[in-house]
Amino acid sequence: MHQVRTTCPYCGVGCGVVADVEDATLTTVSGDQDHPANYGRLCVKGSALHETLGEGGRLTRPRVDGVEVDWTTALDTVAQRLADTRREHGSHALAAYLSGQLLTEDYYVANKLFKGFLGTPHLDTNSRLCMASAVAGYKRAFGADAVPCSYEDLEEAELVVLVGSNLAWNHPVLYQRLRTAKTRNPLMRVVVIDPRVTDSCEVADLYLGLAPGSDARLFNGLLAFMAERKRLDRVYLAGHVDGVDEALAAAAEDDCSLEAIAADCDLDPEALQTFYYWFASQLHVVTLYSQGINQSSSGTDKCNAIINCHLAGGKLGLPGAGPFSITGQPNAMGGREVGGLANQLAAHMDYDTPGALDRVRRFWSTETLTPTLPEAPGHKAFALFEAIERGEVQALWVMATNPAVSLPEANRIRAALAKCPLVIVSECMANTDLLAYADIVLPASSWAEKDGTVTNSERRISRQRGMLAPPGEARHDWWIIGQVAARLGYGEAFAYRHPGEIFDEHARLSGFENGRDAKAGFRLFDISGLAGLDREGYDALAPIQWPVNAAAPRGTARLFEDGRFATPSGRARLLPVRPRGPRQALSEARPLRLNTGRVRDQWHTMSRTGRAPRLMNHRAEPFIKVHPDDALAAGVGDAQLARLKGANGDYLGRVRVAKGQRPGEVFVPMHWTDRFSKRARMGGLLEAHLDPLSGQPESKHGAVALTPLAPAWEATLLVADDLATTSAWCEAARYWARIPLDHAERWQLAGGKAGEAPGDWLSRLRDWLPVAPTLWCDDPARGRLRAAGVADGRLCWWLMVGPPAELPGLGWLDACFAAAAKGLPLEETARRRLLAGCDAGEADSGPLVCSCHQVGQQAIVTAIHGGDTSVEALGARLACGTQCGSCIPELKSLIEEEACHARADQKLEKQTV
- Which is closer to ligand SF4, CB of 10 or CB of 108? 10
- Cβ atoms of 878 and 863 within 8 Å: the answer is yes
- Which is closer to ligand SF4, CB of 14 or CB of 646? 14
Pairing between strand 848-850 and 855-856? antiparallel
The least distance separating ligand SF4 from the CB of residue 246, rounded to whole angstroms, comes to 39
- Which is closer to ligand SF4, CB of 35 or CB of 112? 35
- Which is closer to ligand SF4, CB of 175 or CB of 437? 175
What is the helix (H) or strand (E) element at residue 74, kind and residue range?
helix 71-89
Respond yes or no on whether the N-terminal peptide bond of residue 330 is cis (omega within 30° of 0).
no
- Which is closer to ligand SF4, CB of 556 or CB of 602? 602
Comparing CA positions, the residue from 324, 348, 350 lying closest to residue 528 is: 348
The least distance separating ligand SF4 from the CB of residue 44, rounded to whole angstroms, comes to 7
The least distance separating ligand SF4 from the CB of residue 340, rounded to whole angstroms, comes to 20
- Cβ atoms of 311 and 304 within 8 Å: the answer is no
The least distance separating ligand SF4 from the CB of residue 276, rounded to whole angstroms, comes to 31
The least distance separating ligand SF4 from the CB of residue 494, rounded to whole angstroms, comes to 31
The least distance separating ligand SF4 from the CB of residue 37, rounded to whole angstroms, comes to 7
- Which is closer to ligand SF4, CB of 432 or CB of 886? 886
Question: Any idea of the CA torsion for 193, 199, 200, 205, to the nearest 10 degrees?
Answer: 80
Secondary structure of residue 888 in the 3-state scheme: helix
C-alpha–C-alpha distance, residues 121 and 115, integer Å:
5
- Which is closer to ligand SF4, CB of 36 or CB of 547? 36
The least distance separating ligand SF4 from the CB of residue 28, rounded to whole angstroms, comes to 14
The residues of the shown chain that bind ligand SF4, judged by CB under 6 A, are: 8, 10-11, 13-15, 38, 42-43, 45-46, 171-173
C-alpha–C-alpha distance, residues 337 and 457, integer Å:
12
The least distance separating ligand SF4 from the CB of residue 880, rounded to whole angstroms, comes to 18
The least distance separating ligand SF4 from the CB of residue 10, rounded to whole angstroms, comes to 3
- Which is closer to ligand SF4, CB of 15 or CB of 863? 15
C-alpha–C-alpha distance, residues 830 and 840, integer Å:
10
The least distance separating ligand SF4 from the CB of residue 289, rounded to whole angstroms, comes to 17
C-alpha–C-alpha distance, residues 829 and 838, integer Å:
11
C-alpha–C-alpha distance, residues 709 and 749, integer Å:
12
Comparing CA positions, the residue from 646, 397, 453 lying closest to residue 7 is: 453
One-letter identity of residue 463: R
The least distance separating ligand SF4 from the CB of residue 597, rounded to whole angstroms, comes to 15
The least distance separating ligand SF4 from the CB of residue 450, rounded to whole angstroms, comes to 15
- Which is closer to ligand SF4, CB of 42 or CB of 149? 42
Q: What does the DSSP assignment read for 824-868?
A: PPPPHHHHHHTTTTS-TTPPP--SEEETTTTEEHHHHHHHHHTT-
- Which is closer to ligand SF4, CB of 169 or CB of 437? 169
- Cβ atoms of 397 and 96 within 8 Å: the answer is yes
E strand residue ranges, 576-692: 592-597, 623-626, 641-645, 650-657, 665-669
Pairing between strand 713-720 and 16-22? unpaired
The least distance separating ligand SF4 from the CB of residue 294, rounded to whole angstroms, comes to 18
Terminal alpha carbon distance of the chain:
67
- Cβ atoms of 20 and 340 within 8 Å: the answer is no
Residue nearest to ligand SF4 (CB): 46
C-alpha–C-alpha distance, residues 74 and 424, integer Å:
10
- Which is closer to ligand SF4, CB of 35 or CB of 786? 35
Kindly list the distances between the CA atom of residue 269 and the CA atoms of 112, 225, 228, 658, in Å, as whole numbers in the listed order: 53, 13, 17, 25
The least distance separating ligand SF4 from the CB of residue 53, rounded to whole angstroms, comes to 15
Kindly list the distances between the CA atom of residue 743 and the CA atoms of 28, 444, 769, 797, 801, in Å, as whole numbers in the listed order: 20, 27, 18, 12, 21
> b/e for 602-624, b at 16 or more Cβ within 10 A?
bbbbbbbbbbbbbbbbbbbbbbb
- Which is closer to ligand SF4, CB of 14 or CB of 664? 14
- Which is closer to ligand SF4, CB of 42 or CB of 288? 42
Query: What crossing angle do the helices spanning 499-511 and 104-111 adopt, rounded to 10°?
Result: 70
Q: Count of residues for the chain?
A: 913
